[in-house]
Amino acid sequence: MRDDAFLSYNVSMKAAYLIEPGKIELRDIPTPTPSKGEILVKIDTALTCGTDKKAFLRGHPMIPMPGPFGHEFSGTVASTGKNLKGFKEGDEIMAVHSAPCGKCWYCSKGLFNQCLNIMDTKILGAFAEYIVIPGHIAKRNVFLKPRHLSFEAAAMLEPLSCVTHALTGIGSVKGKEVVVIGAGPIALMHILLLHHRGAEVTVLGRDHNKLSFARSFGAQRAIVLSEAISSGLRADLLIECTGSVDVWELSPSLVRRGGTVLLFGGCKTGTEARFDTHKLHYEEITLKGSFHFTPRDVKEAYRLIKEGIAVERLISEVCGLSDIQEVFSYLAQGKGLKYALKPSK
């Protein structure tokens, strides 16, 4: 049940608002109260991600400004609304920020990541002291955090769910030659999971230091992107993680006949890419997109994190919530991978 005594001592909280590209404000706002079936979470750790970085640099269609932002988090149940089952005050939890409605046409076909309502009912605002998880998310995509697991690792549930979804869609990778383009956080997470599943991984990128670091995540080879064509590299599967149109267009040339190109990195809205139709047709190249995740993917990501997959290595530094403007300035300059922001720090 809701703990009104708890809320009476926490009538306001700090929350970061993205005002416009390049500008973040810490505001004092009322601490939300959970309604029926909802969970009020005291944030322990919130993580930065590529989508947040894009929003900070140029805005993002799914992150309104001015408004709260941040969506990768873990924490402790502060209070609950009525009729919530499975969680109580004091529980340490890990969650994602969305869940399908279960009612639309796509949900009826099991295409839960394509739910017509999933983006409209997602929650933002993890860069704050508290966040309310709505009932539809609490039912499907919130888990008890194992005691042995750090809050930092637990906050990786959302990005790992995206990667799990992408790899589930292409089947077994054991023994296959896989190329990952990019050496940012999401590319490294792909490499980590590919290595875990027995793939032979080559990473392509532009920065020698980042490529060297990527090898420590399980990549057998690292090649400078500009040298990839001349190297004779041909993969069974290529995963594009940069979201750059020129790299999208390059990708099919790096897979062998019958190969698959997984276009994971999202380009700007309205962007168009051109591909060699002869190669796609006669060499039976598959181009595949990947978006978001399903509840099944979240459960798999939860299992992987619980069993110790080393996602915590992606965190460059742990900072206080008051450092958020500086943290995003660092990210804009290409410094660091993911930062953990802690309101209590």
pLDDT in tens, 199-256: 999 999 999 999 999 999 999 999 999 898 888 899 999 999 999 999 999 999 999 9
**Which run of H or E residues covers position 149?**
none
Are the beta carbons of 18 and 56 closer than 8 angstroms? Answer: yes
Burial class for 91, CB neighbours closer than 10 Å (0-12, 13-18, 19+): middle
For residue 62, what are its two tokens?
């799914």
- Ordered alpha helix ranges (H), 30-148: 50-58, 105-108, 135-140
Which residue has tokens 């309205």?
270
Instruction: Return d(Cα 93, Cα 140) in angstroms, integer.
Output: 13
Apex CA 167: angle with CA 126 and CA 222, to 5°?
95
Stretch 115-124: mean pLDDT = 97
**Crossing angle of the two packed helices 157-168 and 185-196, in degrees rounded to 10:** 60
Predicted local confidence at residue 283, as pLDDT: 97
Give DSSP secondary structure letters for 62-92. Answer: TB-SSEE---EEEEEEEEE-TT--S--TT-E
Instruction: Return d(Cα 247, Cα 271) in angstroms, integer.
Output: 13
User: pLDDT by residue (tens digit) across 62-118?
Assistant: 899 999 999 999 999 999 999 999 999 999 999 999 999 999 999 999 999 999 999
Instruction: Return d(Cα 254, Cα 228) in angstroms, integer.
Output: 8
Strand 286-289 relative to strand 130-133: parallel, antiparallel, unpaired?
unpaired
Of residues 127 and 228, more confidently modeled: 127
Predicted local confidence at residue 62, as pLDDT: 87
Instruction: Return d(Cα 315, Cα 71) in angstroms, integer.
Output: 16
pLDDT tops 60 at residue 44? yes
CATH number of 4-161+293-342: 3.90.180.10
Predicted local confidence at residue 107, as pLDDT: 98
Which residue has tokens 């932002």?
69
User: Is 3.40.50.720 the CATH number for 170-289?
Assistant: yes
Kindly compute the dihedral angle of the four CA atoms of residues 297, 303, 46, 39, in this order, to the nearest 10 degrees. 80
Domain ranges of the chain: 4-161+293-342, 170-289
What b/e string do you get for 242-261 counting C-beta neighbours within 10 Å, with b at 16 or more? bbbeebbebbbbbbeeebbb
Q: How many CA atoms lie within 13 A of 249 on its CB side?
A: 9
C-alpha dihedral sign at 203, 97, 93, 69: positive
**Local confidence band at 268 (pLDDT 50, 70, 90 cut-offs):** confident
3-class SS at 165?
A: helix
Are the beta carbons of 222 and 202 closer than 8 angstroms? Answer: yes
Which residue has tokens 């499975």?
86
Please enumerate in sequence order all residues whose Cβ is within 8 A of that of 30, keeping only pairs 6 or more positions apart, or say none.
11, 12, 13
User: pLDDT by residue (tens digit) across 171-205?
Assistant: 899 999 999 999 999 999 999 999 999 999 999 99
Would the CATH topology of 4-161+293-342 be identical to that of 170-289? Answer: no
**Which run of H or E residues covers position 171?**
none
Apex CA 110: angle with CA 252 and CA 164, to 5°?
50
Instruction: Return d(Cα 170, Cα 93) in angstroms, integer.
Output: 30
Q: Which 8-state DSSP code applies to residue 237?
A: E
